[in-house]
Structure 1
Amino acid sequence: MVDEEGFREFVRARLPRLSRAAYLLAGGHAQAEDLLQVTLIKAALAWPRISKAQDPEAYVRKILYHEHVRTWRRRRWLEESTDAVPERGHAEDETSRTVLRVVLKEALARLTPRQRAVIVLRYFEDLSEVDTAQAMGVTTGTVKSQTSHALARLRKLAPELAEQVEESMEVRP
């Protein structure tokens, strides 16, 4: 017997978090919706098994990240960078925050799927190295090396992000 109501409750409770992770992985709203839809279909089909797991959300997150990599491998598309990144304004207003979001999105899109998954899991989902390794099905050492490579690449692709982090650290007491 399928616990349909249990699955619906799970989705209602976790949808914002899963949607955010899908968006950060996919890099666009339409792609994120597709990714999340496929993930939830797979989770629904496996719900009897998932619901008995110690942490069903981790299981569904793992489906999400694996589906993201699988989709990327199937498409084999190449993204080309466009014009230079717009300059960041000095005023802390909505425009500068929007520019930073765009810069971050473009920089994340230029990482490999595995690097992007590591960054999303570690810094946006706030998972530990061990939990990230478990979600991705890799070793902790792989998470550490991919994180190092991804951060180095992000610093190179979008140095203004590092400047923003430094400025926000100076403002904090």
Structure 2
Amino acid sequence: MRASRAEQYREFAATRATHLYRSACLLTGGDTHLAEDLVQETLGRMYLVWGRISRIDNPAGYAQTVLVRAFLTHRRRRSASERPVGDLPDSAPPPGDDPDLRLALLGALGALPPKDRAVVVLRYWEDRSVEETADAMHVSPAAVRTRTVRALARLREQLGGSLVEFATR
């Protein structure tokens, strides 16, 4: 029985890691190192509760909630403001990808406060409902709606007409 649960966890971790990493990259504003740390922490916490996984209706959704909570907890730490410095490696963008648009969006998302960023990622990247987002963040649905409106207004303000510029290329 233990071997099958361990195998189930390995399969779960292998299938969800990429999606968790993408979400973590959006939450961290493109900080890939922190995103990797958050995914590792999420998968570690999932391993601890895996024996009781039968009580969890949606393990993938639970993992996303754990990821968001890990991100918000990290942002509250004093050391969260430390940033490593170094050159980014050169890599070719995926075909059909617009790196300028991606950088503009990641920069604008990264400039948002952590809770606003979490709301935008959960609502629009993860496509969660207001209630699911409120549950993941431990806030009321009204707080999610208010934070969403303010976050989107900040994004529009930061991006200004630059999205029109990217769309007309």
Question: What is the TM-score normalised by the length of structure 1?
Answer: 0.78
Q: For residues 119 and 152 of structure 2, what CA distance do their matches in structure 1 show?
A: 10
> In structure 2, do the counterparts of structure 1 residues 51 and 137 end up closer, same or farther at CA, with 3 Å as the change threshold?
farther
Is the deviation greater in 6-15 or in 138-147? 6-15
CA distance in 2, matches of 1:78, 1:145: 29
1:56 aligns with 2:59: yes
- Residue identity matched to 1:10: F
Partner of 2:17: 15
Alignment of 1:3-152 (within 5 A): 3-26=5-28, 27-74=30-77, 75-77=79-81, 97-152=98-153
The offset of 1:21, in angstroms, is 0.4
Q: Tell me, what secondary structure is at the counterpart of 2:81? A: coil
CA contact (8 A) 1:58 1:135 kept: no
Task: Give me the whole-angstrom Cα distance separating, in 1, the residues matched to 2:162 and 2:49.
Answer: 39
Q: Which runs of 5+ in 1 are unaligned?
A: 80-92, 169-173
Which one-letter code corresponds to 2:117 in the other structure?
R
Gaps of 5+ in 2: 84-94
Q: Is the 8 A contact 2:123 2:130 kept in 1?
A: yes
CA distance in 1, matches of 2:61, 2:43: 13
Percent of residue pairs bearing the same amino acid type: 39
User: Which amino acid in the other structure matches residue 6 of structure 1?
Assistant: Q
CA contact (8 A) 1:108 1:116 kept: yes
Paired with 1:164 and 1:43, the residues of 2 have a C-alpha distance of 42
Q: Aligned-pair distance for 1:149? A: 0.8
Q: TM-score, normalization: structure 2?
A: 0.80
Amino acid at match of 1:146: R
C-alpha separation between the residues in 2 aligned to 1:62 and 1:119? 14
Which residue identity lines up with residue 46 of structure 1 in the other structure? V
Counterparts in 2 of 1:161 and 1:35: CA distance versus 1, 3 Å? farther
Looking at structure 2, the residues matched to 11 and 164 of structure 1 have their Cα atoms a distance apart, in angstroms, of 39
Deviation at 1:29, TM superposition (A): 1.4
